[in-house]
Amino acid sequence: MSALLAVTDAHVAYGKVEAVRSVSLEVGANEIVTIIGANGAGKTTLLSAIMGILPLKGRVAFAGQDLARLDIEDRVARGLGLVPEHRELFVTMNVEDNLELGAFRVEKARAKASMERVYTLFPRLKERRKQLAGTLSGGEQQMLAMGRALMGAPKLLMLDEPSLGLAPIIVADIFRIVTELRAAGVSVLLVEQNAQAALKIADHAYVMELGEFVLKGPAAEIAANERVAASYLGFQHEAASAL
């Protein structure tokens, strides 16, 4: 049985600078995989390239199918979802419209069920469903971004820095929901600077430095690695104590 997502020997260039070099990665079914690393290590670049936002040299296979010739929209339709770092919400539209559009490629009946599920996961969104997305707080916007991605019924959800700029208590909430997603059969590829929190919930982890993976393995093993502890855990960049 092959992995749900398999990236082989991927290179991504930003102009002339190669931001990701020779990276290989696998995410299995029902699995949380995290990529940790410092600012500018190339984590966001890698996710964008897997999603098709940036051109990638190498092979990306999803559910056994090569993604090379598929646009972003087709990848979404095949069950790959991304919650980007900047969330990219439709800020002048209300919460419900944002969610409804998340299911643009899903048939109506299923969209309805998805909406119920999202509202159960994020009761806050249901309370605010007629509010404009741009007027939500940072944490609520993150929830809406995740909710919108879930409306597309993804098999794999990629989350880029979901804890960015959020209060510790909300970060805890978001990470709890990520584990619930796994329980519901959605795999998660999580990019985080908050290494501690990420390693706690992940099954597997990759450590990225200057565009390359320098370490990979089961999350518990990575968390115990001395070098990782020194570089990423000793002094945390984020509110790691939240968990």
Partner 1 sequence: MNTTIMLFLIQDGITNGAIYALLGLALVLVFAVTRVILIPQGEFVTYGALTYASLASGQMPGTAKLALAMGVVAFALDVFAGRKSLHVRLIARSFLANIVLPGIVLALTLYFVAQKPPVAVSIALSLVIVAMIGLSLYRIVFQPLAHTSVLVLLIASVGCHLALQGLGLLFFGAEGQRGPAVLSTAFTAGSLRFTGQSITVYGITIAFIVGLWLFFGWTLYGKALRATAVNRLGARLAGIRTTLSGQIAFLLASVIGALSGILIVPITTLYYDTGFLIGIKGFIAAIIGGLVSYPLTAIAALVVGTVEAFSSFYASNYKEVIVFMLLIPVLLLRSLAAPAVEEEKD
Partner 2 sequence: MNDRLPILFFALVMAAIPFIPGMPPFWIVLLDNIGLAALVAMGLVLLTGVGGLTSFGQAAFVGFGAYTTAVLSATYGVSPWLTLPLSLIVSGVFAVLLGLITVRLSGHYLPLGTLAWGLGLFYLFSKLEFLGRNDGISAIPPLSIGGYRMLDPASIYFAIWVAVVLSALLTVNLLDSRTGRAIRALRRGHIAAEAFGVHTPRAKLLVFIHAAVLAGLSGWLYAHLQRAVNPTPFGAQAGIEYLFIAVVGGAGYVWGGVLGAAIVVILKEVLQSYLPLILHGSGQLETIVFGIMLVALLQLAPAGVWPWLTSLLPLRTNGKAPDTSLLLPARIRAAGASEVLLQVDKARKQFGGVIAVNNVSFDVQTREIVALIGPNGAGKSTTFNLITGVLTATAGSISVLGRKVDNAPPQEIVKLGISRTFQHVKLVPDMTVLENVAIGAHLRGQSGPIASMLRLDRADEARLLAEAARQIERVGLADQMHQLAGSLSLGQQRIVEIARALCVDPMLLLLDEPAAGLRHMEKQRLAALLRQLRDGGMSVLLVEHDMGFVMDLADRVVVLDFGTKIAEGTPATIKSNPEVIKAYLGVAA
Which of partner 1, partner 2, none does 236 bind, CB closer than 5 to 8 A by kind? partner 2
Beta strand 57-62 with 5-14 is antiparallel
Which of partner 1, partner 2, none does 140 bind, CB closer than 5 to 8 A by kind? none
Of the two residues 118 and 228, which places its CB atom closer to partner 1 in the complex?
118
Which of partner 1, partner 2, none does 69 bind, CB closer than 5 to 8 A by kind? partner 1
Question: Counting contacts by CB under 8 A, is residue 113 touching partner 1?
Answer: no
Q: Of these, 40, 91, 112, 113, which contacts partner 1 (CB under 8 A)? A: 91
Mark 160-199 with x for binding to partner 2 (rule: CB under 8 A) and - for no binding.
----xx-xx------------------------x--x---
Question: Counting contacts by CB under 8 A, is residue 21 touching partner 2?
Answer: no
4-12, 14-22, 53-61, 122-130 -> range binding partner 2 (CB under 8 A): 14-22
Query: What are the tokens at 112?
Result: 């309805």
Question: Counting contacts by CB under 8 A, is residue 76 touching partner 1?
Answer: yes
Of the two residues 26 and 85, which places its CB atom closer to partner 2 in the complex?
85
Mark 164-183 with x for binding to partner 1 (rule: CB under 8 A) and - for no binding.
-x------------------
Where along the sequence are the contacts to partner 2 (CB under 8 A)? 15-17, 19, 38-40, 138, 164-165, 167-168, 193, 196, 210, 231, 233-241
